[in-house]
Amino acid sequence: MRMFHGDVFLGEAEVFPMKQGAEGSLPFPSNEIRISHLSPTSERCPPLAILQTIAPFSVRCKLQAKLMPPHPSLHRLYLTCFNEYKSAVVVVGDEELHLVAMPSKVEKVPCFWCCSVRSGIYAASVGMLNLRCLAIVFDLDETLIVANTMKSFEDRIEMLSRRMDIEDDPVRIAGMSAEIKRYIEDRELLKEFIDTDTVTDNGRIVGTQKEEVLPISGGQERVLRPVIRLPERNAILTRINPEVRDTSVFVKLRPAWEDLRSYLTAKGRKRFEVYVCTMAERDYALEMWRLLDPEANLISSHNLAERVVCVKSGSKKCLQNVFKDKGCHPKMAMVIDDRLQVWDEKDQLRVHVVPAYTPYYAPQAEMANAVPVLCVARNVACNVRGGFFREFDENLLRKVFELMYENELLDLPYAPDVGDYLVCEDTNFAPNNKDVAPIPEGMSGAEVGKRLNGLAYPRDQKQIPSSTRLSDDDGVALRGIPGGTNIQSNGGSLATTPSLFVTVLQEIGRLCESRVEFRSTVSSGKNMQFSVEVLFSNEKIGIGIGKTRDEAQVLAAEKALQNLESNYLSFMAPVAGVLNKDVNKPPGSGNGFLEDITLSEDISMEEPSGSTLKEQDHSKALDRLSSVISLIRELCLEDQHVVFRDQVRDSGSALNGEYHFQAELGGQILGRGIGLNKDFAKLQAAEEALKTLKTTTDPQIKKHLRPMQQLNFPLYPTQRHRETV
């Protein structure tokens, strides 16, 4: 086959495909080899080591000079490539064929291996591997920052206020009150910034600084943006569009960001090439990154447009799209994000998941551990980089230098992948739901555009349940369950995250003072499926099998909830006359476990059978009331009794057609009931009181109760289950 460098004839070469038959067809069009250019010089890495890293086992064929002695031009090309660590590049469409000069057991014979790789990726990888540099991709919202407009502040304050109105737990009320106070304090600073371009911080008036930024939305005019930086608060106030005051934003930066940033560019040497991938609106994303990297040390201004990648809300993030400019290979990149499921499945092994940043819900959580979250991320990045280049230097490079032209494809060494050194744990939920904010903080995804454009969400939008955090950055259906999964609450549907079933189980375990464990294994079979078992007080109550660990965990948790529901109903039906219960409903349909942690816009206590009670329902209610009161007496000391108080002054008539009862023990309110019938209202109060007595940790209530060993009936469904098995 004739070889050319541009239009210069180099000589003829024999071409030997690596595979036989149709798969071994030669990649060169027109039966000629036309080299377009030579690759960049590599300082320390032979071309085959680079190609094996970014395109493993991509050798298509071997080439050897046909005539001896070889044509002088071909011999010069061979020596140049061999001595200067270059490759000769043949461009075929969007593919590059790299001719790599190889040493041979036969002296003075120019010979090459031909490797295929996506166009442009080799040139980018040469520099990174020479400098021992990898890529790191950051998410923004709830990973590095939390941002709010006046509208988002007001919506969150209103939502928390509504939740406080229906909350009975004084501890939760105190927590929500403190959270509202933090929102109000920052909202007032933002309002002052909008009105006066100043803020009053601890009695000190701070004015704006005009900072020059890149033109927004592709414009050409110079843009000066008003900014106030409050380093003591780790906060910045800025205006996305300087001409529109309603685009003002209050931004909280995650603590320890400076530590992570300084590691990435220590002593002026880049350890990582930095990218951003977010579902936020572009002008907002560019400004948030400018606040994080004001001196453009991580991403230079001329690279900013390509390095900040905005993904449509609801779409999957993908490293292939992040590197659409072919600046890096996905195998050489790691991701820092607070959500794993928003990433394409093939990239998830390269994601380091951090807990979501929740400065309003749990400001102390960020510094609760000895090492801050972003310092942990810095350490992870350091370990990943060290492991990757240790494998590259000690294994791949050493073995590549030993290879000869006559070696086979299988003699190539293993190439490192960032995913090999980044252990991806299940960090998308916190045990017992203690560190998970009930509502998303700040703005994410499509919400940014709506907030900055003054568009409010519909007023009838369902309130987010306290057991999960949803944001537009999530944007995906529940993985592992076909078609996604919804949890029904008071007649409405609420999209759930993969961690909800797990969180519910953890909450049940907390209430029952029982341990919930998830044990996972990977099958050694061809399909490599994950299997997860759920243990409740060391008893297996559910199992799930899936293609990923998350999928298996969700299925196992859902099955465990169904089993717990079945056991719960089988226990309650004989002793309490359970009415109108559908055992086949999925978890989240009012099975008694989810009541404490699922909320909707409107919570009411209604009669299960409509506005009137039939005689048979009334009779069942009386029997049920008698059973519940008997159970309550079993729990209490002999000299202690639960008192039922009618809260309607005139016992002969109901307020607004309803009866109101509350159950008390030693002056402590245990439960309340509302109904169109006095007995049914009393029954509701009694059932709530029974539930309180079984699960309470309040010492003022527990002092009126019998010790556990004196009780004559099982408190929790699993105890009954163990007796019957």
Is the distance from CB of 102 to CB of 405 less than 8 angstroms? yes
Which segment of 279-283, 378-382, 674-678 scores lowest on mean pLDDT?
A: 674-678
What local confidence, expressed as pLDDT, does residue 429 receive?
Answer: 36
What local confidence, expressed as pLDDT, does residue 708 receive?
Answer: 58
What local confidence, expressed as pLDDT, does residue 579 receive?
Answer: 37
Is the distance from CB of 236 to CB of 227 less than 8 angstroms? yes
SS3 78: helix
Phi, psi of 233 (to 5 degrees): -95, -5
Per-residue pLDDT tens over the stretch 245-258: 999 999 999 999 99
- What CATH topology corresponds to 503-567? Double Stranded RNA Binding Domain (3.30.160)
**Angstrom distances, CA of residue 149 to CA of 153, 196, 448, 665:** 6, 16, 9, 46
Higher pLDDT, 226 or 493: 226
Answer yes or no: is pLDDT of 604 > 50.
no
Answer yes or no: is pLDDT of 231 > 50.
yes
SS3 618: helix
Per-residue pLDDT tens over the stretch 502-558: 777 777 877 776 778 877 665 544 455 677 888 887 778 888 887 777 778 888 888
Mean pLDDT of the chain: 77
Is the distance from CB of 233 to CB of 282 less than 8 angstroms? no
Residue 308 tokens read as 């900040």
Answer yes or no: is pLDDT of 285 > 70.
yes
SS3 40: coil
What local confidence, expressed as pLDDT, does residue 129 receive?
Answer: 93
Within this chain, domains 133-140+254-424 and 503-567 share the same CATH topology: no
Assign 217 a pLDDT band (cuts: 50, 70, 90): low
Per-residue pLDDT tens over the stretch 167-194: 899 999 999 999 999 999 999 999 999 9
Phi, psi of 559 (to 5 degrees): -65, -40
- The CA distance from 233 to 182, in Å, is 12
**Angstrom distances, CA of residue 715 to CA of 214, 238, 504, 598, 691:** 64, 55, 19, 23, 10
What local confidence, expressed as pLDDT, does residue 657 receive?
Answer: 56
Strands (DSSP E) contained in 27-94 are 32-35, 37-38, 59-65, 88-92
Q: What is the pTM of this model?
A: 0.61
Is the distance from CB of 479 to CB of 497 less than 8 angstroms? no
Q: Where are the domains of the chain?
A: 2-131, 133-140+254-424, 145-252, 503-567
Is the distance from CB of 620 to CB of 577 less than 8 angstroms? yes
Higher pLDDT, 516 or 310: 310
Answer yes or no: is pLDDT of 567 > 70.
no
Per-residue pLDDT tens over the stretch 455-473: 433 333 333 233 333 233 3
Cβ count near 474 (within 10 Å): 22
Higher pLDDT, 580 or 693: 693
Residue-level length of the chain: 725
**End-to-end Cα distance, the chain:** 77
Residue 220 tokens read as 């050409």
Element (H, E) at 298: none
Of these ranges, 329-343, 513-527, 549-563, 584-598, the one predicted with the greatest mean pLDDT is: 329-343
Residue 390 DSSP class: H
- The CA distance from 229 to 238, in Å, is 9
Assign 449 a pLDDT band (cuts: 50, 70, 90): low
- What CATH topology corresponds to 133-140+254-424? Rossmann fold (3.40.50)
What local confidence, expressed as pLDDT, does residue 476 receive?
Answer: 29
Nearest by Cα to 516 from 506, 504, 531, 502: 506
> Helical H runs in 58-116?
72-83
Answer yes or no: is pLDDT of 425 > 50.
no
Give pairs for 523-530: CB < 8 Å, separation 24+.
none
What local confidence, expressed as pLDDT, does residue 450 receive?
Answer: 60
What local confidence, expressed as pLDDT, does residue 617 receive?
Answer: 65
Higher pLDDT, 533 or 276: 276
Q: What is the mean pLDDT of residues 386-412?
A: 92
Answer yes or no: is pLDDT of 6 > 50.
yes
